[in-house]
Structure 1
Amino acid sequence: MEVFLEPGITVLSLWILVWLLDGALDAGWLVASIVAFALAFPGRSLVRSPPDRVILSILLAWGWTAGLLLALGFATGHIYEFPAIVVVNWLWFSPTLQLLAHWGLRVSAPHLVRLQGPPLRAVVVGMNEQGCMLADRISSAPYAGIEMVGFFDDRMPVRQQGAERHRMLGRIAEIAEFAKANRVQLIYLSLPMASQPRIKELLDALKDTTASVYFVPDMFVTDLIQGRTDTVCGFPVISVCETPFRGPAGVLKRAEDIVLTCLILVLISPLLLAIALAVKMSSPGPVIFRQRRYGLDGEEIVVYKFRSMRVTEDGDTIEQARKNDSRVTPLGAVLRKTSMDELPQFINVLQGRMSIVGPRPHAVAHNERYRGLIKSYMVRHKVRPGITGWAQVNGFRGETVSLEMMEGRIRCDLDYLRNWSLRLDLYIIAKTIKLVFKDASAY
């Protein structure tokens, strides 16, 4: 919001004056608006700054923007095409409106933060100077949306620099279990280079969680998933394991899901009705089979499918469908072969539980089994599960008869997280349509 606040107010204030004093927003004013927006963009983050600094910053920025506009206008002679009464009043009205807007944002910021949901829970590994500085920044930033839970360190309390200010939660070996049990979403590693073997062990342990992991020190790490530099309350960090759908990419991904899902549901609505009637008439039981799966951040979700079996298993032990499985109904065999049993999951996409493209959601029982056998298994839950995915179009559709096959599926899922793009999603969708009619591995 702060990025667009000052540029937006600059243009809005001009339009208000033009409407009040000139009466017509013609092409000349529109060009002036575009130039003014470009000069003022991006706005600065001032919500945590002292009031005197906010006033000075706005006045200096506005002086720069207005000075350039006036210089450009006089140099080209176009300044005389605009009513002087609008230009003169704009020079004081725009900074005044900007100050009021920043004040309004400062007052409403706590409420806006609460609307985003509960704060993200964060822990820091390593109670050293940079770790304590980061924790202090987080604790003193009310609008960051992050709750500082505490530290993990193996050193004795007497050697810890921030023990009097921050809570010690346990030893480093305990962090993975703590993160899983206490819904920790952010983990910041503030460990020295000399701890490289210990860091590698820790990263392996943290891959059984859905927490986003960042380095605070300047370190070199291989096997990064969406590795990028970032800042937390002005403090530099390096992401180790992060979702690709942050910021504009997240908006693009969700827009893709909503637009494509609406188009698909309109096209297939007669087919959905026909399949529902066929399922109801072909065998006793519900039309829609609901099963618990793991979704975004490892949260449990309910996924819809057309019932294709005589049983509706959703317990602690679930057996995958096999070739010539007696539990599969004759109609169910056709539905599973063509993946039409998955069509109700487009409703899950509209609900925000799933995406069209992403790692396929596994039953909860399968997740609990494989997370202990395959390193990085839970990392696939950094994104919403998909109706189809990179693994499914690369030979890992259907039953996973061995641990090696499931490991191959997870490798594809992690490759998708590292290399996501809108083009890749569209390619996967196109390839899925081609595969469902000739893939013999689904039954």
Structure 2
Amino acid sequence: MSSNVPAWARQYRARLAATDSLIIVVAVMVAFASRFWWGESAASLAAIAADYWMVTLTIIGAWIISLSAYHSRDSRVVGIGLDEYRRVVNASVVTFGLLAIIFLMFKVDIARGFFVLALPLGITGLALNRLLWRKWLARQRQEGLYLHRAIVVGDEADVDYVVKQIDKRGVSLYHVIGAAITGSTEGSITVNRHQLPIVSSLSNVAEAASYLGVDAVIVAGNPGNGSTYIRDLGWDLEGSTTELVVASQLTNVAGPRIHFRPVEGLPLMHVELPQFGGGRHLLKRAADVIASSLALILLMPLMLVIAWLVHRDSRGPILFRQERIGRGGQPFPMLKFRSMVATAEDDLAGLLDKNEGAGALFKMKNDPRVTRVGEFLRKYSLDELPQLWNILVGDMSLVGPRPPLEREVATYENHVHRRLYIKPGLTGMWQVNGRSNLDWDESVRLDLYYVENWSLAGDLVIMWRTLKVIRGAVGAY
């Protein structure tokens, strides 16, 4: 059976393997030098090196093999999501754990400082290496290169939804070149104001995939005869280079919450229910306290400068306090640097007919109430720095849903109240996906997705993406 890995993916994987191996060698050698180099004579250093050369080679070889065994360079995970980094970390930690046990069993004398230092150095280097390669890959994909060519199969509405989700972000994994629509064999459909050609009937998808040389067939929804259709399509694609992908209809359920457990030949999909308390939330709170404390200390000089600028720019208090609704519907005073004139709340009534915000949220480009300094602060989200205090005292979290006003909550549909199941955040999915440019439904969807699927690793990614969004001032007004 031929490999179903595209040529570009094999080339990219080879580059990753080369740079991963180089970083592992460097990390182990730096750890060796840091542990033994200083204060040793040339003769004693040579003796140590002779004793450690087999240990060093064992660590390097096992680490390189482990990265491959964990499929950390699989074309389905590189360049997108957290799974790539998770596999790198897991492979590294397991390698060192197993080596430590083996060295102990065989009574291999090894300096713990050398052994322990190599692990964080290597993980840091490998993560940075993947990040740099990911940035390069993202630039290539923006040019239409290094993408999986795909056909989307299903009813027109399902195909439309899946293609829009694929195209939503600037950098995607797939380039959709055509569709197979239920009940249609020719023509095209309009998705995002672009014409997507219908390349096949449902019964001839495998032939079309072979003819067009696509890398993936994405099944959207429940076309044809449902599971029977997917099974038959899988059989038709056997032996080809095309991958079969099924788009989950559980649109707000992240992958880690989904587990497949076959029972007597019946493939059961278990969906873990979201948890809104327990150990993970305690860890999130601990991270909030530590990070907000450090940020307040480090950013205090900047905050004092901003306070002085706000005071000089217009009359009124330096801080703006506004009641927002937090976890469980509890109100709290959210702090911001004042970015509007002191009479902004009183002036709001005369501007409601010019509302450009999402749903119940009032937003307006070129709002006349915004001061000169306030415009700059809003552009780079500097007006929100005082919310670090809200995080420290427990009203907010670093990452979470957007903190709503009471009048917004009063308009919520029943399901939207799930936004209040966890603490609101200084940043969140809403900020890294468009901020004020989002419509109401999309803002709600992103917040609900976060509430049910958050993780500490995901929070780190959101905070990293927030810095990039703020630098580009996307959707800030």
Place the TM-score, normalised by the shorter chain, in its bin.
0.3 to 0.5
Q: Tell me the TM-score normalized by structure 2.
A: 0.40
